[in-house]
Amino acid sequence: MRAIGLAAGVTDAAIYYHFSSKAAILRALLVEPEVMPPHADGGAGPDIEALTEEITGIFWRWAEQPELWRIIVVGGLEYEPSTVDFFASAGAGYRRLVEPLLQPWYPEPAAIVETLRFVLTGVILETVLNSGDHIHTALRHPGYRRRVRRLVSLILKGGLESAAPGLAREAAAGARTGVN
Amino acid sequence: MPLMKPRPSARRDATRRRILEAALSLFGHKGFERTTVREIADRCGLTDAALYYYFPTKQDMLETLLTENWRLSPGEPCGRRGHRATPEERLCQLADAMLDDLAENGAAIRFLRRAVIAGAPEAVAHRRQRWQAWVAYASDYIDETLSAAERRLIMDAVFTFVRGVGFLTHAEHGELTASVLSSPAFRAAIHEQLRIAAPIHLFARPNLRLA
C-alpha cells in the first residue's frame, strides 16, 4: 500500500481513507458502467458517431479516477500479482461490455474489441508517462478528448472492412473529414 | 590512482556488462526500488564486494543504464521501401520492427518507463529522444500520398496500438513476453488488428498513385 501511495503521489492515509485494501482499489476499477443496448435498425450500417460516443463514454467513466491509472500502469510494468489479476478480469469485463454493443453490426466483434482494448490501454499508458502528476489536467484538455474519439472512430471504421467492405468505403469519406 | 593490479580489461568489460544486464532485467521486472544489490550480485554470480568494485551504489547502475545508449533506438529500417509492398504491408513491417524492439529490449523499456514515472529527468529526456527516433523511422513506412494530417493520424494509431500491445502482453505473460511477442501466430493476429486500428486503405487515393 505504501508503494501505491508513493506511486500515486498521495499519503498512505489518503489511500486508506478511500480504500481499505489494495484488492479493494483494484475492485473499484472493475465496476462496470451501465450501457444501453443498441438497437439495430435493420440493414443500414452502424452509426459510427453514436458508437464512438458510447465507447469513449465507457473510457471517460474510467478516467474519473485517473490516479488509479498510475497504480495499474506501475503494477503492470512490474508484473505485480494483484495487478496481473486485475488485467485478466478487466479484459474479460471489457469484452462482455463492448461485444454486445458491436454485435448488431459487426458479425465478429472479437478482433475489434481486442483492438480497442490495446489502443485505449496505449492511451492510458502514454497519459501516465507524459503527464506525471497532471493527469487530471491532461484529461480535461479538449484536444485529448478529440484524439481519443478519433482513434476509436478509426477502429470502428477499420473494423467495417471485414464485416462489410462496401460500408467501409462509404465510411472512408467520413474518415477523411474526421482527420481535420 | 588505484594501486590495484590492473585486470585484463576485456574480462572487466564482460563482467561490467553482465552486471548491467542483470540490473536491467531486475529493474525492468521488479522496479528499481524493489530490487536489492544482493539480488543483482546473485544473478551474476558475484559477491556484494565484487559488485561494489564496479558500481558503488544501485543509483550508479541506474545512471549508467540511462546514459549509456542501451540499444534503445530503432535499428536500420528493414526491407526499405519494398517495391511490391502495399501501404498495409508497410504498416505491418513498421509494427513488426516495433514489436521486435519490444521483444528484444522489453526489460530496458519497462525500466525506462518506471524511471519516467518516478520522475527521473534523464529518463524523460531519453524517452523523448527514443520517441523522436521512432517517429523518423516510421515516416518511411507511411504512404506518402496521404495528407500530413492523415499521416499523423495513422502514425498515432500505430504507435498507440503497439504501445498497448506491448504493455498488456507483458501484464498478461510476464517473463514469457518476448517469446509471445515473437511468435508467428501472435504476429498474424496483430497484423489483422492493425488493419482495424490503422485502416490506411480507407485513405488510399488510387487516382493519385497512377499519376
DSSP string computed for B105-172: HHHHHHHHHHHHHTT-HHHHHHHHHHHHHHHHHHHTTS-TTS-HHHHHHHHHHHHHHHHHHHHHHHHH
Predicted confidence band of residue B7 (pLDDT cuts 50, 70, 90): low
Q: CB–CB of A122 and B167 under 8 A?
A: yes
> Is A44 strand, coil or helix?
coil
pLDDT at res. A148: 95
CB of A90 within 8 A of CB of B181? no
Cβ(A158)–Cβ(B196) under 8 Å? Answer: yes
Q: Which residue of B has its CA nearest to A84?
A: B171
pLDDT > 80? residue A31: no
Asked if B156 reaches chain A (Cβ–Cβ under 8 Å), the answer is yes
- Write B52-60 long-range contacts (CB < 8 A, 24+): B54/B15, B54/B16, B54/B19, B55/B19, B58/B23, B58/B32
Assign B208 a pLDDT band (cuts: 50, 70, 90): very low
Task: Report chain A's terminal Cα–Cα distance, integer Å.
Answer: 44
Higher-confidence residue: A96 or B6?
A: A96
Q: Mean pLDDT lowest for which of B29-33, B58-62, B137-141? A: B29-33
Residue B129, min C-alpha distance to chain A (Å): 14
Q: Name residue, grid cell 473494423.
A: A159
Nearest neighbour of A176 by CB, restricted to B33, B34, B203: B203
pLDDT of residue A81: 86
ipTM: 0.77
pLDDT (0 to 100) of residue A79: 86
pLDDT tens digit string along A138-180?
A: 888 999 999 999 999 999 999 987 555 555 555 555 555 544 4
Q: What is the pLDDT of residue A8?
A: 45
Question: What CA–CA distance (Å, rounded) separates A123 from B167?
Answer: 11
Q: What is the pLDDT of residues B106-134, one digit of tens each?
A: 888 888 898 888 888 888 888 888 898 89
Res B96: pLDDT: 94
Distance CA B11, CA B191 (A): 43
A:B CB pairs within 8 Å: 136
Sort out which chain A residues have CB atoms less than 8 A from B153's CB and list them: 150, 154, 179
Beta carbons within 8 Å of A75's beta carbon, 6+ residues apart:
A82, A83, A84, A86
Residue of B nearest to A116 (CA): B197
The answer to whether the CB of B71 falls within 8 A of the CB of B173 is no
Integer Cα distance of B170 and B183 in angstroms: 14
Stated pTM of the model:
0.77
Q: Which pLDDT belongs to residue B143?
A: 87
What is the band of B70 on the pLDDT scale with cuts at 50, 70, 90? low
pLDDT band of B209, cuts 50, 70, 90: very low
pLDDT of residue A150: 96
Residue of A nearest to B174 (CA): A79
